[in-house]
Chains A and B, each alone.
Chain A
Amino acid sequence: MVAAAQHPNIELVTYAEVENVAGYVGNFEVTIRKKARSVDPVKCTGCGTCWEKCPTKVESEFDLGLGKRKAIYLPFPQAVPAVPVIDREHCRQFTRGKCGVCQKVCPAKAIDYEQQDEVVTEKFGAIVVATGYDLFKWEEVYGEYGYGKYPDVITGMHFERLNNASGPTGGRIVRPSDGKEPKTVVFIKCVGSRDEAKGKSYCSRACCMYTAKHAHQVLEKIPDARAIVFYMDIRTPGKAYEEFLQRTVHEGAVYVRGRVSRVFQEGDKLIVRGEDTLLGRQVEVAADMVVLATAMVPSAGWDDVAKMLGLQTDKDGFFQEAHPKLRPVETFTAGVFLAGACQGPKDIPDTVSQASAAAVKVCQLFTKDEMATDPMIAAVDESICAGCAMCEKICPYKAISMKTITERVAGRQVNRQVATVNGGLCQGCGACSVACPSSAMNLRGFTNEQILAEVDAVCL
């Protein structure tokens, strides 16, 4: 993280969103909205006085509601850049029009309540999409685990925050309900993954391993603790993964093969009822905490990103690569590459490999000053183009526009509209050639004449 922030060739643009993408490979024009931080990043020293003094406390999104933050805040201590942001929805200066504490205490005079969103358009030669994942909203469908009404039924990500030294508990694993250390922790895998009825058909690929890690951490940090893992299958197909799992098992984690049918509260215990399919009988555990390994789903807003960049998605919203084996980081939009979980669920080692692969594709493009384009693209015969613009409407790549040409007809200057093709954008799909009512649009290398000759050779 720090390496990315300090690299002379990397410019960080945080708290910003892409609003529009125009252009084509080598020549994208991207409109970026830089949201108002209300803090001048040049003046701010990241000293922290503002958030210490801020009187408004809000649930921290970063800690998934397990901790609090202020209305002016850094999401976490090592945040990059170390420039806080004012949450205008909760800040008293914005909601009630008075407070101004942070502005008064800031020694660098960096607080600027008047700051506006800034919209810029910049040129790029290539785009890497690395929009990541969200976690499946289990609370909406898993009634048997309590629809989220039991505070001590948490997700793996909550568990990470509890475990993290800079998290809300300073790295102590405790129950969100009463702050007590749990002695019996039950882990349930495949919550939303491999569950076509309630969730997703796919395997999320990282959960078997992080659950093994969580079980290890429970056994390591809590004396006399029990870690019980309910699983359907254990999938550990990475380097040193199976060994890691075996280590957790040897440390004492109990793996039970079967689904959990119900979790309910009894006193301060969570009763986990399920089946051990290897023993062929019902089991019941009185747990202090239940951790769900929830499925990975595409990051919110994936549909907007797909529309802007012309990306295809699979049935679950993950971005589609150009070929599942041979072109795993390329997309059908030239110059746009994929990295990480936005293409499909994956763990960190796979993500890093894929990101480096995407980077190589970008570098490959950048090693040349000019790029050769496929000559098999659409071409207009201006002499017969009627300017109806049917092709402009049908083109999926926005490669066709209309232009005015001047002709001499019967000794007079006449202006008329004709179609024109942008060679950088045209992908040679041929949709325009089919739509053109006057056969003025032809695909080079697949002209109407050439195709008809092929057909005639077989049929006549």
Chain B
Amino acid sequence: MKRVGVFVCHCGTNIASVVDVKKVAEAARNMPDVVYATDYQYMCSDPGQELIRRAIKEQRLDRVVVASCSPRLHEPTFRKTCESAGVNPYLFEMANIREQCAWVHAKDKEGATLKAIDLVRSAVAKARRNVSLTPGTIPITKRALVIGGGIAGMQAALDIADAGYKVVLLDREPTIGGNMVKLDKTFPTLDCSA
């Protein structure tokens, strides 16, 4: 048996003014393997994350679903929250009920609520099948190649070199300097370019 927790975010009024978040949480309680569901003003805030951590401990959750914004925004946030409470970050799943629901269905509150429930059900179904994943590691060669020896390449090479790393500064011309070195004085200070 999996133990899934569902956390529905209001995003202030971004979601809650369109989607009936209480109803979504209530519906989530009846989904398979869901042992806990609640809603909160801002899930990404410190108290919101603390709420998730506490629920993981108290309800012995092993899967977490947050229904909120796009995963592009806060998936990394909630993965870290799970990890800090001892749940593998890849057991976390996100349902986007803001960009893909509340914002696009602002005129149809009932429909939006039904869709939000569907999105959560879908995320729960996936979460139940999620498995722990561990990142691999790859070694890093601490040597940089800068292609192009104009002002951009020279500046980048100097900064990397000053940090203590080896740099190869490559240019197809016989000299570095690029377009910049053809210039006379440069605006707005009129200092020399070479």
Query: Is the Cβ of A370 less than 8 Å from the Cβ of B140?
Result: yes
Query: Is the Cβ of B170 less than 8 Å from the Cβ of A13?
Result: yes
Chain B residues whose C-beta falls within 8 Å of the C-beta of A374 in the assembled complex? 135
Please tell me if B102 contacts chain A, counting CB pairs below 8 Å: no
Query: Is the Cβ of A128 less than 8 Å from the Cβ of B144?
Result: yes
Chain B residues whose C-beta falls within 8 Å of the C-beta of A18 in the assembled complex? 145, 147, 170
| Shortest Cβ distance from A329 into B: residue | B156
How distant is the Cα of A10 from the Cα of B163 in the complex, in angstroms? 12
Chain A window 230-252, contacts with chain B (Cβ cutoff 8 Å), 1 for yes, 0 for no = 00000000111101100000000
Query: Is the Cβ of A372 less than 8 Å from the Cβ of B137?
Result: yes
Stretch from A192-200, A275-283, A349-357 that touches the partner: A349-357
Query: Is the Cβ of B147 less than 8 Å from the Cβ of A371?
Result: no
| Shortest Cβ distance from A21 into B: residue | B145
Stretch from A254-262, A382-390, A450-458 that touches the partner: A450-458
Query: For window 27-53 of chain B, which residues contact chain A by CB distance below 8 Å?
Result: none
| Shortest Cβ distance from A18 into B: residue | B147
Query: Is the Cβ of A351 less than 8 Å from the Cβ of B155?
Result: yes
| Shortest Cβ distance from A11 into B: residue | B168
| Shortest Cβ distance from B90 into A: residue | A445
Q: Which of A75, A85, A131, A305 has the most CB of B within 10 A?
A: A131
- Per DSSP, chain B at the interface is mixed
| Shortest Cβ distance from B178 into A: residue | A132
Chain A residues whose C-beta falls within 8 Å of the C-beta of B124 in the assembled complex? 457
How distant is the Cα of A217 from the Cα of B174 in the complex, in angstroms? 30
Chain B window 181-194, contacts with chain A (Cβ cutoff 8 Å), 1 for yes, 0 for no = 11111111110001
Chain B residues whose C-beta falls within 8 Å of the C-beta of A143 in the assembled complex? none
Stretch from B4-12, B18-26, B126-134 that touches the partner: B126-134
How distant is the Cα of A84 from the Cα of B174 in the complex, in angstroms? 8
Query: Is the Cβ of B147 less than 8 Å from the Cβ of A457?
Result: no
How distant is the Cα of A365 from the Cα of B163 in the complex, in angstroms? 12
**Among candidates B125, B145, B187, residue contacting A128 with C-beta atoms closer than 8 Å:** B145
| Shortest Cβ distance from B120 into A: residue | A457
Query: Is the Cβ of B184 less than 8 Å from the Cβ of A130?
Result: no
Query: Is the Cβ of B165 less than 8 Å from the Cβ of A362?
Result: yes
Query: For window 52-74 of chain B, which residues contact chain A by CB distance below 8 Å?
Result: none
| Shortest Cβ distance from B168 into A: residue | A11
Chain A residues whose C-beta falls within 8 Å of the C-beta of B152 in the assembled complex? 130, 132, 339-342, 351-352, 354-355, 358
CB distance from B124 to the nearest CB of A (A): 7
CB distance from A459 to the nearest CB of B (A): 9
Please tell me if A79 contacts chain B, counting CB pairs below 8 Å: yes
Chain A residues whose C-beta falls within 8 Å of the C-beta of B160 in the assembled complex? 9, 128, 359, 362-363, 366
Query: Is the Cβ of A370 less than 8 Å from the Cβ of B182?
Result: no
**Among candidates A84, A337, A457, residue contacting B121 with C-beta atoms closer than 8 Å:** A457
| Shortest Cβ distance from A425 into B: residue | B138
Please tell me if B85 contacts chain A, counting CB pairs below 8 Å: no
Chain B residues whose C-beta falls within 8 Å of the C-beta of A376 in the assembled complex? 90, 133
Query: Is the Cβ of A444 less than 8 Å from the Cβ of B133?
Result: yes
Chain A residues whose C-beta falls within 8 Å of the C-beta of B118 in the assembled complex? 457-458
How distant is the Cα of A369 from the Cα of B123 in the complex, in angstroms? 36
Chain A window 207-222, contacts with chain B (Cβ cutoff 8 Å), 1 for yes, 0 for no = 0011011000100000
Q: B residues near A, CB below 8 A?
A: 90, 118-119, 121-126, 128-130, 133-190, 194
Q: A residues near B, CB below 8 A?
A: 1, 3-5, 7-18, 24-28, 30, 32, 37, 62, 74-76, 78-81, 83-85, 122-133, 157, 160-161, 163-167, 171, 209-210, 212-213, 217, 238-241, 243-244, 299, 301, 305, 337, 339-342, 347-348, 351-352, 354-356, 358-360, 362-363, 365-366, 368-376, 423-424, 444-445, 447, 449-451, 453-458
Q: Which 3 residue pairs are nearest across A and B when measured between Cβ atoms? A: A340-B152, A359-B159, A130-B153
Jot down 17 A-B pairs with beta carbons below 8 A, ordered by A.
Answer: A10-B168, A10-B169, A11-B169, A16-B170, A17-B170, A26-B139, A32-B170, A79-B177, A122-B168, A130-B150, A340-B150, A355-B152, A366-B163, A451-B126, A453-B125, A454-B122, A456-B125
